[in-house]
Structure 1
Amino acid sequence: MVFPLRLRRRGGNKKEIIPVMCDSEIEIMIPAQFRCPISFDLMKDPVIMASGITYDRESIEKWIESGNKTCPVTNTVLKTFEQIPNHAIRKVIQDWCVEMGSNSGIQRIPTPRVPVTPQDASEICGKLLAAARRGDHQKCGEVVGKIKNLGKESERNKKCLRENGVGLALCVCFDAFVCSENAFLLEEVLSVLTWMFPIGSEGQTKITSAASLRCLAGFLRSMDDSVRRNAAFLLKELLASDETHVVTLAGVDGVAEAFVKLIRDALCVSSTKSSLTAIYHMISNNPKMVSKFLETGLVNLAVEIIVDAEKSLCEKALAVLDAICETREGKEEIGKNALVMPLLVKKMPKISELATMSSVSVIWKLCKTENAATAIEEAVRMGAFQKLLVVLQVGCRGGTKEKATELLKMMNPHVGKLEVGCVDSSMDFKYLKKPF
C-alpha cells in the first residue's frame, strides 16, 4: 500500500512536512533532500542541472518545455539543459523507501531507465533503414520492437524518437515489406506509427503509395480490433493531410463497408472519430463515394450517433451528413429519415459553433430540393424559425449567416399558419443578445 506524501507552505517560503498516517498510525516524514524543489514531491528520477541543483526529471523537463531558461532555485540562466542522473541521491531515496516500507507499506522507487537521446534515435533509424534495404524482416522486427518498448517507457522517449526521424524510417520499412506476406511486421510498424505523427512529407510519400494505402485499407477488415483502430487512425491522418489519397483509397473494394462496420462495432470513441473523419474527407473530395456509403446504412448510423453522442462525435457525424447532402441521392436518403429534421433543429445552437454550422447547412440543403415545401414546413413545425433567429443573434461565421437568413425568408410565410410543436423550451432565448 502506498501512502500520499504531501507538503504545504507556512509563512512565506518556509515548507512544512505534513505527516501521513498509515494503518498502524505511524507518521511518514519525507526528508527535505528527497523532495523536488519544484513539485515538493518525492523524487523518482533525480537529475542534476548545470546550476548544481537536483530536481526530479519530469518536473524540470516540464519547467524547460514551458519556455523557462533559468534554474528555478537559483534563478541563474542555465548554460545547458543537460540532465545528469544523480545516482547517489536516488540510491539513498531507494534505501529510505525500503527502510520505511517494512512499517508503512511504501514501495521502493524503481531504478529509472536512461531516456533516449537524439544520438540513440539516429542509430535506431540507421539500423532500421539498413535492414529494410536488405529485406531483412527479422532484423526490422527486432528494431521495431525496441522502438515500441522505448515508447512505452515514457512520453519523453516518444517525443525524442518522433523528432529525430524515426517516423520516416518506419514509413520506409512499411513500404519495403507491404507486398510481402509478413503481416505481423506491418502491424507492429502500424502500431508505432500511430504516435509518430507528424511524419513529414517524405514519410507520407512512402506510406501513401498505392500498395501501402491498399494494405492499410485491408487492415480495416482485420480480425484484430487494435489493428483496425490503428489503420483507421493512420488513414484519417493521411486523408486529412492530402486529399489526393482519396482517389486511390476509393478504388479499394470494401473500404466503405470497413469504415462503417468499425463505427457500428463501437470499439472505442477514438476509432469512431477516426472513421467519421476519414469518411468525411472521402465524401467531400470524391462525391462518387456517397452512393457506396449510402448502401452501408451510414445515414441512419450517423443519426443514431447525433442523438446522444458527446460533443466531438456529434460534430463529426453532423459534418458527414452535411457532406452527404452535396449529392442529390444523399439529400433524398437523409430526407427519408424522420429523425433528421428534429435533431438538426434541436442541436442549434446547443452543441457548438461547428455543430450549428453543419446543422444549418443540412437544413438549407434539404429546403432547396424538389420537396422543399415539405422540408420547410417540417422545419417550421420543429421550431427552426426561432432557433435560426437565435443563431443570427449569437453570431456565426462562414456562410452560415447567409444560409440562416435565406432559410428565415423561406420559412416566414409559413410561420403562424402552421401549428408549431416540439419547440425546445429549454432554450428560452437565453442566448439572445440584448439590444442595449
Structure 2
Amino acid sequence: MRMQLKRAKRRTDTQDMELAMDMMVVFSKTDDRNADIAILERLANKLELHTIADLKAETAAIRKLVKHRGGYNETVQQILDLLGKFKLIVGIDETVSLDGPISTRTLRRCQSSLIPNEFLCPITLEIMTDPVIVATGQTYERESITKWLNSNHRTCPKTGQTLDHLSLAPNFALRNLILQWCEKNNFELPKKDTYPSSDTYSADLMEEISLLVKDLSSSHPNVRGDAVMKIRMLSKENPENRISIANTGGIPGLVQLLYYPDSKIQEHAVTALLNLSIDETNKRLIAREGAIKAIIEILQNGTDEARENSAAALFSLSMLNENKILVGNFNGIPPLVSLLQNGTIRGKKDAATALFNLSLNQANKSKAIKAGIIPPLLRLLDDKNLDMVDEALSILLLLVSHPEGRNEIGRLSFVETLVGIIRSGTPKNKECAVSVLLELGLNNSSLTLAALQFGVYEPLREIAINGTNRAQRKANSLLQHMSKCEHIP
C-alpha cells in the first residue's frame, strides 16, 4: 500500500484530495458508505490495486512487513480490512488475517500447492468443483465467476479482455480430470451448499422487482409505501438488484415519489435512489429523470434521515462532472452548507463529502463561499469531538485556490489555527494544513510572515523530514518560499 501511495507524485493536488476523501469515507467506522462499491472501486483504481494479482502481491507484502516489525498496529489492520473489501469486489471471498488459528479454508489453500495449477480457480486459487468456461476461453469455478459478473464486471479476471458474452459453458472434460485426480490422491472435494438454480432465482427476483416497480404508481398509498420500502432494501443488497431495478423502469417511479406528500415515502425513495446511484450508469439515468432538483428540495425540507440521505445521494451523483454543474445550478449548495452547520454528526459528514465533490468545480467554489461555507468549516477545525478536521481542511484547500476563498480565509486567527495543526495534528491533518498555508502564502507573503511569528518553522522542518510524501513536498516548497519572504521589508 505504501508503494501505491508513493505514486501520489504522479497525481495532481486535486487527485490527491479526492484520494484522501475516499480514504476517509472507507476507513470510517460510522459512515454507512464505507462499503460503497463505487467508492471502493474508484479507490482501488487510484491505488492500482484492481486485479487479483495486485491484491495477492499487496497482501504478501503486508505480511512480510508485519513479520519484519514483529507485530501489527491499528493502521495495518485498517489496510488489511481495505484489502479484504477490494478482494470482495473482484470475487475473492476471504478474511485477511495475520495471526490466530489456521482455519479450514487456510489449510485447504496450503494443500492447494500440491494440486495441479490447471485444477485451481484463478480467482480463489482453490480446486474447482464446477468449472465453467467464459467467452475468452478461460476456466473458473462457477460460483466465483458468477460473483464477479454479478458485481457488474464485464471483463475476464485473468486476461482483462472484455467478454463478448456472459454465457458460462460447463467444462466437463476438466471436471472429469479433477475427479480422477481426487480419487487417485485420496483428495476429498469441498462440498458445496445446495441452492435453487441461479436461473430460477433470477427469474423469480426479476418478476418480484417488476411487480414492485408497477406498485410505485399504485393509487393506494399503502401499496406505494410498501413497494418503495422493499425496493429500498433490494437496492442495498447487491449490484445485480440495482441494475435490475433500473432496467425495469424503477428510476422514474422513484423520482416521482420524491414529490409525494408523505415524508416516510420521500425518505424511502431518496434512499433507494442513493443506493441505485452506486452504479455508474444509474447516476446518469437518475439525473436525466430530473431527480437532482427534487433531492435538493428534500434536503431543504425533509426529515433528518431524509436530509442526510439526500446529501449522501448528491455526493454520489456529483461524482459525474455534469451532475456537479446541475447541483450548483439548482441551488443545491446552500442547503448543504446549512446541513454542515446545523445537522447531526452524520448529516455534517454527508454534507462535507458532498461539498468537497461539488467544490472540485470552479463555479461551485464561488457558490459555496457565497453560501457561507467558510465559518462552519473553521468551527469544525476547533471541534475535536466531531473528528472532522481532515474533511474541513480538504474543502478549505479547494477553496483557497479561489480568490474569494483566500480573501475570506486569510485572517491571522486562521493562520494561527493552521500553525497549531501543523505542530500537533495527525499526519494527514499536517499534510492538509501545510498545503493550505502554502497556497495562502504564495498569494499573500504577509500571511507567511505571520505563520513564522506563530512558530511554524520548526514543526515545518520536522514535516519536511518525517511527514507523508506529499507533506514533505509541500513543506519544502513552503520553507523555500519562507526563505524568500524573510527578505521582504
- What TM-score results when the alignment is normalised by the length of structure 1? 0.60
Q: Is 1:277 aligned with 2:353?
A: yes
CA distance in 2, matches of 1:163, 1:367: 46
Amino acid at match of 1:315: D
Alpha-carbon distance, 1:324 to partner: 0.6
CA distance in 1, matches of 2:427, 2:252: 40
Counterpart for residue 388 of structure 2:
313
1:128 to 201, 212, 228: 212
Task: Kindly indicate whether the alpha-carbon contact (under 8 Å) linking 1:259 and 1:275 is maintained by their aligned counterparts in 2.
Answer: yes
Task: Kindly indicate whether the alpha-carbon contact (under 8 Å) linking 1:349 and 1:355 is maintained by their aligned counterparts in 2.
Answer: no
2:323 to 245, 249, 265: 245
Counterpart for residue 390 of structure 1:
462
Distance 1:168 1:344, change over 3 A: farther
Cα-to-partner distance string for 1:84-109 (whole Å, 9 max, x where unaligned): 9xxxxxxxxxxxxxxxxxxxxxxxxx
Amino acid at match of 2:270: L
Amino acid at match of 2:207: E
Secondary structure class of the residue paired with 2:442: coil
CA distance in 2, matches of 1:246, 1:207: 14
Distance 1:342 1:81, change over 3 A: farther
Alpha-carbon distance, 1:162 to partner: 2.3
Task: Kindly indicate whether the alpha-carbon contact (under 8 Å) linking 1:380 and 1:415 is maintained by their aligned counterparts in 2.
Answer: no
Q: How does 1:259-338 map to 2 (within 5 A)?
A: 259-267=336-344, 269-285=345-361, 287-309=362-384, 313-336=388-411, 338=412
RMSD of Structure 2 on Structure 1 (CA):
3.6
Counterpart for residue 227 of structure 2:
143
Counterpart for residue 375 of structure 1:
447
CA distance in 2, matches of 1:330, 1:250: 17
Task: Kindly indicate whether the alpha-carbon contact (under 8 Å) linking 2:339 and 2:351 is maintained by their aligned counterparts in 1.
Answer: yes
Alpha-carbon distance, 1:177 to partner: 5.2
- The answer for unaligned runs of 5 or more in structure 2 is 1-92, 97-102, 108-186
Alpha-carbon distance, 1:225 to partner: 1.3
- The answer for unaligned runs of 5 or more in structure 1 is 1-63, 85-116, 152-156, 419-436
Cα-to-partner distance string for 1:276-321 (whole Å, 9 max, x where unaligned): 1111111112x22233322333212101101133585111100111
1:406 to 477, 480, 485: 477
Which is worse superposed, 315-324 or 198-207? 198-207
1:227 to 306, 317, 332: 306
Distance 1:76 1:246, change over 3 A: same
CA distance in 2, matches of 1:71, 1:380: 56
Distance 1:193 1:66, change over 3 A: farther
Distance 1:167 1:187, change over 3 A: farther
Alpha-carbon distance, 1:130 to partner: 4.2
Secondary structure class of the residue paired with 1:244: helix
Cα-to-partner distance string for 1:46-66 (whole Å, 9 max, x where unaligned): xxxxxxxxxxxxxxxxxx754
Task: Kindly indicate whether the alpha-carbon contact (under 8 Å) linking 1:121 and 1:164 is maintained by their aligned counterparts in 2.
Answer: no
Cα-to-partner distance string for 1:125-156 (whole Å, 9 max, x where unaligned): 22234446xx43645533223345xx5xxxxx
Secondary structure class of the residue paired with 2:419: helix
**Could you say which structure has the greater relative contact order, defined with CA pairs below 8 angstroms and 6 or more residues apart?**
2
Task: Kindly indicate whether the alpha-carbon contact (under 8 Å) linking 1:345 and 1:383 is maintained by their aligned counterparts in 2.
Answer: yes
Distance 1:396 1:345, change over 3 A: same
Structure with the greater alpha carbon radius of gyration: 1
Q: Is 1:365 aligned with 2:445?
A: no
CA distance in 2, matches of 1:141, 1:409: 62
Distance 1:70 1:375, change over 3 A: closer
Secondary structure class of the residue paired with 1:288: helix
CA distance in 2, matches of 1:192, 1:177: 8
- What TM-score results when the alignment is normalised by the length of structure 2? 0.54
Q: Is 1:356 aligned with 2:430?
A: yes
Task: Kindly indicate whether the alpha-carbon contact (under 8 Å) linking 2:419 and 2:455 is maintained by their aligned counterparts in 1.
Answer: yes
**Percent of aligned positions with the same letter in both sequences?**
19
Task: Kindly indicate whether the alpha-carbon contact (under 8 Å) linking 1:140 and 1:173 is maintained by their aligned counterparts in 2.
Answer: no
Task: Kindly indicate whether the alpha-carbon contact (under 8 Å) linking 1:178 and 1:212 is maintained by their aligned counterparts in 2.
Answer: yes
2:270 to 168, 190, 194: 190
Counterpart for residue 90 of structure 1:
none
Task: Kindly indicate whether the alpha-carbon contact (under 8 Å) linking 2:254 and 2:273 is maintained by their aligned counterparts in 1.
Answer: no
Amino acid at match of 1:250: G
CA distance in 2, matches of 1:368, 1:408: 11
Alpha-carbon distance, 1:71 to partner: 12
Task: Give 1 or 2: higher helix fraction.
Answer: 2
Distance 1:193 1:214, change over 3 A: closer
